[in-house]
Amino acid sequence: MMYVTRREHFSAAHRLYNPVWDHAKNEAVFGKCNNPAGHGHNYYVEVTVAGEIDPETGYVVDLKELKHIIIEHVIRKVDHRNLNTDVDFLAGVIPTAENIAHGIWMQLVDRIPQGRLHQIRLYETEKNFVDYRGEA
């Protein structure tokens, strides 16, 4: 099995809070990420496709195609947006790295042109990242 990854970047704002909780509990759980005016991150997303090498092309997946799909269905929707309010596939969830990675997976899983989606890795900072590999 071969694994092929495309990396993309977006900048976005978010605020972590649970509307069910009061201010004190949100402050205690989320700390400065609960700042009411929000804050920004430079996110990096790495989309990994698994598959066999196509003997005709030598590719698992055409990265040009994969790039266009990621831009159309993810980056265009999140870049320079407020993740709490502006993104259809994040409606109703707290926009943590975990939930963003899950949302990106759902956007892409049925749109991979060759091979199958293996992993979404989302960097929220240089030091913090999450990996999602689907339900299995």
Summarize as ranges the residues that interact with Ni ion (CB under 5 A): 33
Question: How would you classify residue 127: left for phi > 0, otherwise alpha for psi between -120 and 50, otherwise beta?
Answer: alpha
Strand ranges inside the chain, DSSP E: 2-14, 39-51, 81-82, 116-123, 129-132
Interacting residues of 71 by C-beta distance below 8 A, sequence separation 6+: 8
Nearer to Ni ion, 32 or 135 (CB): 32
Nearer to Ni ion, 38 or 115 (CB): 38
* 68 labelled catalytic: no
* 80 labelled catalytic: yes
Nearer to Ni ion, 59 or 129 (CB): 129
Of 9, 23, 39, 80, which is the active-site residue? 80
Shortest gap between Cβ of 19 and Ni ion (angstroms)? 17
Q: Hey, which residues are catalytic here?
A: 33, 80, 124
